[in-house]
Structure 1
Amino acid sequence: MTSITRLVSLMCALALSCTSIAGTSVIGRTYPIAENDALDEIKKKASKIPPEAFIKSKSDWSALKSLSLPLASATRSRKHIPWHTTQFDIKNAEGRVLYPKGFRFNPLQYVKLPQRIVVIREDHAVWLKENHLKSTDMVLLTDGDIEKVSKFIGRPVFILEDSVKQRLGLEYVPTILSQPATYFQIDEFYLSKLTPIPEATYDTETHTHVPTVTDE
């Protein structure tokens, strides 16, 4: 329901409420109303406003706003341990403290990341699809059209949030993160050339890919 529709509905409810309160009592002299009905004026003005005026573009959707990361200036690999410190005492069923508040530990000693995590911008999508993408990869986007990238690589794409950046130790894009042992392996890539998603193969109206036809 649009804002105008909600406003009209509210006006209608208010009008009915006022009518109910007023009843049928008439006190003093009455005169015909010469001005136009306010509700009719609202409806008339609302009908002249195109629906597009109330729909924000995808770039304005707060749910699709991702955290940006700088481009990698060199290709390098590094290790990262996501140390965690308990914020309160962790007790067993009997109430005995197993881990006191302030206890610092490495969660990767107890859990295993089920897949790689790939962090890219929109203009890394072609590089990723042609060179590194695996069927089990989780892809996070820092900049660009998340729907366009998702359609191009053929899988769901998620935005990068600050909490995830901090937890995984992410610094640059593109990055491929994996867990070979009790630490994260972070591989950052320097790309001398960025290739945009080919517009010829992407229909912006239907958000689908159109096969490229070449002359024989």
Structure 2
Amino acid sequence: MWARCAAATAVALSATASAANLGQIGPVFEITEQHAIQYMIERLGKMEKSGELARLERETQDRARKAVAEPTPVAGLSETFKTRTYYYDPTVTVPENIVDGTGRVLVPAGFRKNPLEVFSLSKHLLFFDARDERQVGYARRLIDHYKGRVTPILVGGSYLDLMKRWDLRVYYDQRGTLSNRFGIKQVPALVTQEGPLLRIDELRVQG
């Protein structure tokens, strides 16, 4: 009896083992996944041999030099068509208490102060577009008229080229920070101080 059970069990196990061996279905390939870093190294090597890498480096350097020499023009400005004069109040309001390390309030929230009460604008500010030679010539005449007491600020064009031409320091209104703050819409625009206010004149090019 026990012998028959043992034999039957052996046959069943043998059949199960045979059923589990399904054999090979199609060809078998070795799994080889190339590492991403290795791929990048090989890719850069190919680009270097072909000269593509050197070309990309030159293009990147050229774009960087151009961005420095001739920044993006300030958007939203046009050449003055109709002259306009208005005033800008530079007074600032403290939005929240300014305290020291012990929590003592140094400047309370809501405090207002006009910086022109502390210092004066030593030079006029002249905004213009150096891509327009008429504006460049007009700006030069204004600078001479005010005997150099003018700070030239570009909203377009190359300030480096103009510095070389004029042998004078020229600034650029990056991202339109100042022209937007002053509400300038047309150039050339001349900013001068009148007491506690700034006077902005959007001027038409003359001559």
What TM-score does the superposition give when structure 2 sets the normalisation length?
A: 0.60
C-alpha change, 1:121 and 1:138, in structure 2 (3 Å) is: same
Q: Please name the residue that 2:32 is paired with.
A: none
- Contact 2:143 / 2:150 at 8 angstroms: preserved in 1? no
C-alpha change, 1:138 and 1:45, in structure 2 (3 Å) is: same
Does residue 174 of structure 1 match 2:188?
Answer: yes
Length, aligned pairs only = 161
C-alpha change, 1:47 and 1:94, in structure 2 (3 Å) is: closer
| Match for residue 84 of structure 1 among 68, 83, 92 | 92
The one-character-per-residue Cα deviations of 1:54-101 (angstroms, maximum 9, x if unpaired) are 433478527822423222222343322123121321357986535322
Q: Please name the residue that 2:49 is paired with.
A: 44
Q: CA RMSD in A?
A: 3.5
Does residue 141 of structure 1 match 2:154?
Answer: yes
More strand per residue: 2
How far 1:118 moved relative to its partner? 0.7
Q: Please name the residue that 1:163 is paired with.
A: 177
More moved, 103-112 vs 113-122: 103-112
- AA matched with 2:128: I
| Match for residue 127 of structure 1 among 116, 128, 138 | 138
Q: Distance in 2 between matches of 1:40 and 1:132?
A: 55
More helix per residue: 2
What TM-score does the superposition give when structure 1 sets the normalisation length?
A: 0.58
Percent of matched pairs sharing the same residue:
21
| Match for residue 62 of structure 2 among 56, 62, 67 | 56
Q: Which structure is larger by alpha-carbon Rg, 1 or 2?
A: 2
C-alpha change, 1:58 and 1:138, in structure 2 (3 Å) is: farther
How far 1:172 moved relative to its partner? 1.9
Please state whether the residue corresponding to 1:191 is helix, strand or coil.
coil
- Contact 1:66 / 1:159 at 8 angstroms: preserved in 2? no
Q: Distance in 2 between matches of 1:53 and 1:70?
A: 31
5+ unaligned residues in a row in structure 1: which ranges? 1-9, 16-36, 194-216
How far 1:121 moved relative to its partner? 0.4
Q: Please name the residue that 1:153 is paired with.
A: 166
Q: Distance in 2 between matches of 1:120 and 1:91?
A: 41
C-alpha change, 1:170 and 1:41, in structure 2 (3 Å) is: closer
C-alpha change, 1:55 and 1:104, in structure 2 (3 Å) is: same
5+ unaligned residues in a row in structure 2: which ranges? 1-36
Give 1:67-106 correspondences, 5 Å limit.
Answer: 67-68=74-75, 69-91=77-99, 96-106=104-114
How far 1:179 moved relative to its partner? 1.4
